[in-house]
């Protein structure tokens, strides 16, 4: 189907239908009601504050969620078209939205959330049914484009936004979401938890959890921007039983992880950090300020990986999904930085990565299909590319380069080309060539050395 004039998608190389070119969503103000945790039932009301970078005659949000009841444009009820096949909620505007103008688009919806199939797993709103009559749980697991299964969004990482999230749950449940908790209120509808995510994040990085949780608060650590104290809280499901001590153990080190990573990457970009633990066999996800951590991934290595993504993925955002190695390579590299901070042999870690790649098909770092996004190349070749830079320039220049990358691309779409340019400017032509070889060679470059 041809897009409405003025409503063309962003043109992602892996997901060409996602997002709207020229649309800049600044803020999502969401009220979500989860009446029966453990099921996919929900209702929502969201107001998007948006702007345009080119004149737009229509808005086409990504949406695959429950039935839409009403759409308002700057407060006035407006007709809409729900195109299920295209996954778009389209609204023709009374007058074009011009660059420099801000507008509000509100959507009210209710029903059953859709799981969004992807190459690896069903993404979006997840339901964990309760066992033996006990209540269940829900959480968002949206990378790369599952948020549209429960919320109308400009579902592309190149358009990060701030969020206010209010989640209403039945008595006895706790809701958790990205950002700082700013209120808890009871009403006949249940208990409403409010969160403010005041620094823009990609839509897939929005954390929302509902469960019977025990919340554990820990002392803040002063690693935020300008030395700000980063608030810390973790959410553990009730009823872990004999697994509880082992599951909780790695999270005791989150403060140290933040200190070690901030030492390399610069200030932690958000006001809070912690993890919410889920009882499902899914991959861990770097949801902003609150890693989504399955029980079976509750270990230090995965905690370090997801925490590193807070800088690389959640704050430095992707211009295009084909460059997802910029997320996974940097997060994998953080595992080495942590191991070395624990006095472990970094050379063995690097050699282990290389051994897992050697003797098999490889590819340049930019991915060409959805199946490649989260493969060994993105993680391990991506990490080795950074080791090649470090080996070329040494630790002090490498640290300065990591920080320069975070500073240059915070809230701004990053790409392989952008990183190569920055590398040439910051470190010179030899370091750029070392990175380019790992980024572009069709074969596996030689193992980069690791300083003792």
Is residue 305 at the binding interface for ligand MET, with CB under 6 A as the rule? yes
**Least Å distance between CB 177 and ligand MET?**
18
**Least Å distance between CB 415 and ligand MET?**
18
**Least Å distance between CB 64 and ligand MET?**
17
Structure tokens at 216: 């554990």
| Residues 59, 337: Cα–Cα separation, whole Å | 44
**Least Å distance between CB 284 and ligand MET?**
6
Task: Considering only the stretches 45-53, 92-100, 252-260, 305-313, report the one whose residues sit in contact with ligand MET under the rule CB under 6 A.
Answer: 305-313
From candidates 143, 159, 335, 372, binder to ligand MET by CB under 6 A:
143
Which phi and psi (to 5°) does residue 127 adopt? -120, 130
What strands, in cross-sheet order, belong to the sheet with 56-62?
A: 56-62, 88-97, 81-83
From candidates 120, 214, 341, 420, binder to ligand MET by CB under 6 A:
120
Is residue 148 at the binding interface for ligand MET, with CB under 6 A as the rule? no
Is residue 12 at the binding interface for ligand MET, with CB under 6 A as the rule? no
Q: Which is nearer to ligand MET, 110 or 120 (CB)?
A: 120
**Least Å distance between CB 318 and ligand MET?**
11
CB of 140 closer than 8 Å to CB of 176: no
Question: Restricting to residues 20-39, which ones interact with ligand MET according to CB under 6 A?
Answer: none
From candidates 285, 336, 349, 435, binder to ligand MET by CB under 6 A:
285
Is residue 284 at the binding interface for ligand MET, with CB under 6 A as the rule? yes
Listed in sequence order, the residues at least 6 apart from 319 whose beta carbon sits closer than 8 Å to its beta carbon are 157, 158, 413, 414, 415, 418
Task: Considering only the stretches 12-20, 105-113, 213-221, 277-285, report the one whose residues sit in contact with ligand MET under the rule CB under 6 A.
Answer: 277-285
| Residues 177, 154: Cα–Cα separation, whole Å | 19
| Residues 420, 171: Cα–Cα separation, whole Å | 52
**Least Å distance between CB 204 and ligand MET?**
9
Q: Which is nearer to ligand MET, 193 or 311 (CB)?
A: 311
| Residues 305, 331: Cα–Cα separation, whole Å | 5
Q: Which residue is nearest to ligand MET (CB)?
A: 283
Show the CA angle centred on residue 191, arms to residues 188 and 197, nearest 5°. 135
Query: How far from the centroid of its chain's Cα atoms is residue 193's Cα?
Result: 21
Q: Which is nearer to ligand MET, 68 or 334 (CB)?
A: 334
Is residue 374 at the binding interface for ligand MET, with CB under 6 A as the rule? yes
Q: In terms of C-beta distances under 8 Å and separation of at least 24 residues, what long-range contacts does 215-221 make, across chains too? A: 215/174, 215/176, 216/248, 216/251, 218/252, 218/254, 218/255, 218/274, 219/255, 221/255, 221/258, 221/259
Is residue 112 at the binding interface for ligand MET, with CB under 6 A as the rule? no
**Least Å distance between CB 192 and ligand MET?**
30
Pairing of strands 230-237, 272-273: parallel
Is residue 306 at the binding interface for ligand MET, with CB under 6 A as the rule? yes
| Residues 195, 176: Cα–Cα separation, whole Å | 8
Q: What is the 3-state secondary structure (H, E, C) of 365-380?
A: CCCCCHHHCCCHHHHH
Total binding residues for ligand MET by CB under 6 A?
12
Is residue 286 at the binding interface for ligand MET, with CB under 6 A as the rule? yes
Which phi and psi (to 5°) does residue 277 adopt? -100, 135
Is residue 225 at the binding interface for ligand MET, with CB under 6 A as the rule? no
CB of 321 closer than 8 Å to CB of 14: yes
Quick check: helix, strand or coil at residue 170?
A: coil
Place of tokens 């989260």: 374
Q: Which is nearer to ligand MET, 159 or 286 (CB)?
A: 286
Query: Bridge-partner residues for 42, per DSSP?
Result: 111
Is residue 367 at the binding interface for ligand MET, with CB under 6 A as the rule? no
**Least Å distance between CB 321 and ligand MET?**
11
Is residue 283 at the binding interface for ligand MET, with CB under 6 A as the rule? yes
Q: Between 307 and 346, how does the x/- string for binding to ligand MET read (CB under 6 A)?
A: --x------------------x--x---------------
Is residue 88 at the binding interface for ligand MET, with CB under 6 A as the rule? no
| Residues 83, 70: Cα–Cα separation, whole Å | 15
**Least Å distance between CB 17 and ligand MET?**
18
Is residue 122 at the binding interface for ligand MET, with CB under 6 A as the rule? no
Task: Considering only the stretches 21-29, 81-89, 284-292, 425-433, report the one whose residues sit in contact with ligand MET under the rule CB under 6 A.
Answer: 284-292
**Least Å distance between CB 184 and ligand MET?**
30
> What region, left, alpha or beta, does residue 133 occupy, with left being phi > 0 and alpha being psi -120 to 50 degrees?
left
| Residues 288, 181: Cα–Cα separation, whole Å | 13
Q: Where on the chain is the footprint of ligand MET (CB under 6 A)?
A: 120, 143, 283-286, 305-306, 309, 328, 331, 374
């Amino acid at each position: 189907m041809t897009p409405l004039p003025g409503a063309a998608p962003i043109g992602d190389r892996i997901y060409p239908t996602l997002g709207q070119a020229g649309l800049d969503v600044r803020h999502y103000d969401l009220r979500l009601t989860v009446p029966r945790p453990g099921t996919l039932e929900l209702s929502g009301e969201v107001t998007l504050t948006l702007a345009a970078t080119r004149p737009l005659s229509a808005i086409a949000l990504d949406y695959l969620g429950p039935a839409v009841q009403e759409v308002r444009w700057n407060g006035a009820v407006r007709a809409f078209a729900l195109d299920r096949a295209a996954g778009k909620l389209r609204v023709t505007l009374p007058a074009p939205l011009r660059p420099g103008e801000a507008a509000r688009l509100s959507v009210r919806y209710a029903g059953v959330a859709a799981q969004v199939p992807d190459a690896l797993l069903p993404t979006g709103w997840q339901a964990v049914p309760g066992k033996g009559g006990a209540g269940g749980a829900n959480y968002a697991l949206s990378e790369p484009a599952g948020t549209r299964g429960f919320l109308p969004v400009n579902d592309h990482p190149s358009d990060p936004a701030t969020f206010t999230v209010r989640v209403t749950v039945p008595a006895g449940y706790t809701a958790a979401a990205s950002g700082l908790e700013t209120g808890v209120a009871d009403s006949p509808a249940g208990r409403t938890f409010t969160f403010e995510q005041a620094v823009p994040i990609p839509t897939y990085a929005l954390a929302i959890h509902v469960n019977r949780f025990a919340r554990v608060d820990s002392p803040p650590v002063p690693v935020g921007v300008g030395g700000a104290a980063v608030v810390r809280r973790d959410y553990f499901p009730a009823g872990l039983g004999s697994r509880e001590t082992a599951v909780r153990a790695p999270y005791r080190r989150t403060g140290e992880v933040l200190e070690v990573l901030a030492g390399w990457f610069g200030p932690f970009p958000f006001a809070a950090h912690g993890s919410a633990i889920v009882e499902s066999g899914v991959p861990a996800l770097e949801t902003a300020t609150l890693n989504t951590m399955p029980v079976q991934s509750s270990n230090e290595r995965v905690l370090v990986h997801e925490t590193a993504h807070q800088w690389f993925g959640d704050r430095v955002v992707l211009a295009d999904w084909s460059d997802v190695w910029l997320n996974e390579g940097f997060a994998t590299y953080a595992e080495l930085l942590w191991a070395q901070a624990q006095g472990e042999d970094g050379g063995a870690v690097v050699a282990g990565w290389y051994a897992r790649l050697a003797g098999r098909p490889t590819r340049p770092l930019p991915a060409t299909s959805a199946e490649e996004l989260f493969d060994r190349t993105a993680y391990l070749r991506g990490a080795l590319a950074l080791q090649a830079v470090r080996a070329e320039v040494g630790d002090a220049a490498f640290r300065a380069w990591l920080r320069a990358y975070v500073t240059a691309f915070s809230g701004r779409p990053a790409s392989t080309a952008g990183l190569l340019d920055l590398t040439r400017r910051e470190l010179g032509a030899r370091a750029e060539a070392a990175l380019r070889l790992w980024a572009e060679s069709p074969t596996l470059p030689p193992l980069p050395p690791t300083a003792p």
